[in-house]
Each structure stands twice: as C-alpha cells, then as structure tokens.
Structure 1
C-alpha cells in the first residue's frame, strides 16, 4: 500500500451527551487514525489508533478515564473491534488493563471472539499488556460529583425502574443509588484506501449498574458492526441500544439502499428521545454522524 494517500474516511465520537468542547480530543484521535492509515493502509489499525487516543484522555469514559462503579472502588471496562477482513473480537468486564481496545484486538488472534472478566484480564497479563493505572483523583472527583449533583428524582437510567437496582443489588456495599447515568462510549469507524471497513469501541461502563453489567459496546450488532457496505458504531444507554440491535439495524438500512445520513437518523428515531443516543458511520462514498443530543466528533475525509 505504501504511503500514497488515496480515498479514505474516518469518523470518531466521544460519547452521546458529552460536551462539545471535548471535540478537540476526537479531532486529535481522527488525526492519529489518519497517520496510522497512511502508515499501514489498514482500516482496523486506524480505528484502534483513534480509540487509543481517547482511552488515554481522562475526560472520556474509556480506558484511563473510566467511571467508577457505584461502590466507588471498582472499574469494569468493555471494548470491541471488527473489520471486513474477518477480524472480530470483544472483551467485557475487564478491570486491570490500561487499554481494553488492545486486548480486544489481541482476542481476535485467538480461537475465540469474546472474553470476559478474570479470563480476559489473565490473557492481558500473558500478553504483557500494560496494567490499569491506579484510580486517579479526577475519577474519584467525578464519582463524588455524580453522587452529589444527580441526587433527586431523575431516573437512575432512562427507561429503567430504580426498584430493579434495589432488588438485584449485588455489591458488597449498601445501595446508595444516584438517580442518573454515565453511559459514555468512545468509538471510531474507518474506510481504508483499499475499500475495507473497520470499527473499534471502548467504554468504562455505565453508572448506575449492577456489578458485572455489560452494555452494547461489547455486543456485535448492537454497539458496532462492519460489513461490505460500511461500518457503524453506536453510543448511548446500552440496554436500549441492544434491544434494537442498533448498529446492525442501521447497516440493514444501508442494504436497502438508504443514504448513510438518513439511515443514521432512522436509527436514532428508534430510541426514545429522552435517552441520549448517537451513531457514526462510513460507507464507500459517505461519512456521517447523528445524535439526539450533543456529541463530540472528529471527522476526516479524503476522496
């Protein structure tokens, strides 16, 4: 492939509902993806490079910036990758990995496609992947701010009955439920100069949630999908995204001949407007994003 710059497209998101001021991080991630794409020509390499930038930016709920679970001590992270060369993998509930997206990529080289919890963490140790950093003051501050600012009568998670958390609570610590949610994800979709598509995503999970909760980021067809027509990534409340198999559903609209922007909007319209949701996508001729709230993005296109 060499360094010859041909047509390509990159779209990066920093999470539905995140401040637009965070777009600088998404733009930096998109530039890093472009550099990797020009270096290797591999769309998946580029998508992972973008996600790595956001996993290292503590403003985002992924990697080093992952939110604390409701016990104020545990972090559980999910990540995924998929491309049109046949590489597909995800990890869920990992606790001791600095960059879960690298672990997801590593799983794609094993006989499996999905590893979770302790087994995934053990694989990371065997491969020599860097361990998670100690919990930062900024993460503790964010957790305390969440507990204080969101106390009140706002639903703990849009569309979810708070009493379910009380009934099925599985932490060792008592239930002190903050009535709101952190459900951010970071993700990237890429069309390479050779026409291949790729998607990668990472998240620090959702708060509030039961210990062991897995959202859409690690579930193929829900938070991510890549096929011959393009790549789609979703962000929002996983419990809603999964019910609609949102990424694969939007890809189905592309199969019906729908333009990308319209397909993304139709996907957003499937989710209650009170539930923050976002989508990004690339096809052979288009690159776009759509959300029902503010969502920082970065985009680079070269025709």
Structure 2
C-alpha cells in the first residue's frame, strides 16, 4: 500500500490552527510506463500550481479544482479531454464530475463527445440546470445550448493512443493492461480546501481503452469517483471503475473519516476493502476540513501533487514524497 501524508502538525492540532488552503491532484493510478513517468509528474505539478494559484488569490475550492482538472484535460499525457482513450468504435467518450462541499450541489456528464473540457460542462450542469447528470446526446445538446465549443474527435486523440487502440482488440484485454502492465491510462482528479473552509472535488476521464460504447465508469457517479462535504472532507478516486462502483469508494472513505479515522487510515482501509472484496486496484486523494490531506494507491504508480503553505509535494512511486517551493 503506497501512501503520502501531509507533513507537520497532527490533525487535531490543525483543527485549532488558522485555516490554511490546500489543493491535491492526481493523474491516475495505474502502471504508468517509464516513457510517460516524467510527463505525468510534470503534468500534475503544473495542475497543482494552477489550482493553488486560485486559492492563493482567495478563490473558491470549486474554482480551484475545476482549474486544476482543466489543466490535466488539456495535457495529452492524461486520459481526460485531450488524450482520452478510444472505445470499441474508435471514438472518445468522456465522463466528468464536480461537487461543492458547502451545498452538496454536484454536476456530472457521461459519454460526451467532442468536448475538450468536460469538467466545465459538468459544472454547467450543476449551475445551469435542475439536474445532476446529463449523458451522451443529451449532454452534448446541452453543451451546444450554452455555447460550448465542439471540437473534432481527432483533436482529442493522440497518435500514441491511436496506435495502442489498434493493438488491443477487446475490453478485457484493455482492463488487464490498464492496471497490470504498461499500456493505457486513467482518471484525473482534484480536491481542495479554501480559506472559507469549503471543500470541493472534481474528476475527469476518458475511461478504459476498448470499453463498450456508452460504458460509464465511476468518475461521474456521486459517491464513487468523488464526493465533497464540508462536514467530512473531499475525495477524488482513480482506478478500475467497476470495482470503485461496487464499493462506492469515495463515500466509503469519508464514512470512515466520519467514524474518527485519520485521512490515511480511511484511505488505506477503503482501498484494502476494495482489493479484498472485489479484487480491484486504484487510488484516491483526500483533504479533510482541517486541511489534513493524503494520497494513497494500490497500483504500481500514481502521479500526484499537493500544495500547502507554499510547498509543493509530489510523487509517483510507492512511498515517494518529494517537495519543492511553490512558484507562482
């Protein structure tokens, strides 16, 4: 079990301290190949800096996680937005979710096409409709109605992904290789705590390579791919979507925190349960209302980064925790 903890004060001490802003991001828990390792770490570091800049200016946690996830959607190394994996028909179908811990409002989209930043479309669903999720054609029609730019599928597909898609013929091969070997990649996400004490989360993904047309994983499902509540914390999950769905991983993590477990214990126990119960691997990032945070994974690697007190923490390998000064 790989883990990365917030340094410094205990969680109890942090509750009595002045509120500090925190942002944590992940670029997906999977068997990241060496040729993508540096770009993955650089990408999460950039996303963390961009999201934290929002918090430093006094912006909301909701704005911060959207900005951080958009950064990764625009980066072709990640399986979200640009760089999304292809389904059995050779198309990109994207899922995304965002949630406000202050109000429990959330928005999600699934199986959308030709959208560069589905996380922003998910936020529009939350703020401009009376619904929480729109899917497929309906989500795209809504995007058109609010003036969201549509881009050709080819714009979202990298040459690397097109070559890998042609190599692998079926869904089960895609699943096994996503999490046990070198090929394919996974969800991105962010969690944040702002200066007002509000938390938020966001996730975005292209899903699993060679998935069935219309397949929806955990990322846009409330309580599975993410959850945020000011009274317990914010979580963003990554890994094998069907396994995460079966154990409602995000809500499971927060429920253990509500029972008095630390962020680290809650993550470890929940991921262990998923592995034991449904043989699923993955990872998650979490921030508590006190600003305590953690990043944990049971896959070979997970690119992650966190910023607090103007220090940027990041890692890729199990038990790796590196740091540098945050630069605006």
- TM-score, with structure 1 as normaliser: 0.84
The alpha carbon displacement at 1:20 in A equals 3.9
Which stretch shifts more, 19-28 or 218-227?
19-28
The residue aligned with 2:97 is 80
**Residues 106 and 151 from structure 1, CA distance in 2 versus in 1: closer, same or farther, beyond 3 angstroms?**
closer
The residue aligned with 1:191 is 193
- TM-score, with structure 2 as normaliser: 0.78
**Inter-partner Cα distance in structure 2 for 1:75 and 1:28:** 24
Conserved in 2, the CA contact under 8 Å of 1:33 and 1:50?
Answer: yes
Conserved in 2, the CA contact under 8 Å of 1:101 and 1:200?
Answer: yes
The alpha carbon displacement at 1:268 in A equals 1.4
The alpha carbon displacement at 1:128 in A equals 1.2
The alpha carbon displacement at 1:202 in A equals 0.5
Conserved in 1, the CA contact under 8 Å of 2:165 and 2:210?
Answer: no
1:130 to 134, 149, 165: 149
**Inter-partner Cα distance in structure 2 for 1:241 and 1:211:** 20
The residue aligned with 1:298 is 305
The residue aligned with 1:33 is 51
| C-alpha RMSD over aligned residues | 2.5
Question: What SS does the corresponding residue of 1:266 show, helix, strand or coil?
Answer: helix
The residue aligned with 1:277 is 282
Q: Which ranges in structure 1 are unaligned for 5 or more consecutive residues? A: 159-178
Q: Is 1:12 aligned to 2:15, yes or no? A: no
Number of residue pairs matched? Answer: 277
Conserved in 2, the CA contact under 8 Å of 1:156 and 1:208?
Answer: yes
Question: What SS does the corresponding residue of 2:57 show, helix, strand or coil?
Answer: helix
Q: Is 1:97 aligned to 2:115, yes or no? A: yes
The residue aligned with 2:175 is 157
Question: What SS does the corresponding residue of 1:144 show, helix, strand or coil?
Answer: helix
**Residues 138 and 120 from structure 1, CA distance in 2 versus in 1: closer, same or farther, beyond 3 angstroms?**
closer
The residue aligned with 1:241 is 244
Conserved in 1, the CA contact under 8 Å of 2:20 and 2:308?
Answer: yes
The alpha carbon displacement at 1:40 in A equals 4.5
Q: Which ranges in structure 2 are unaligned for 5 or more consecutive residues? A: 1-17, 311-328
**Inter-partner Cα distance in structure 2 for 1:194 and 1:38:** 12
Question: What SS does the corresponding residue of 1:45 show, helix, strand or coil?
Answer: helix
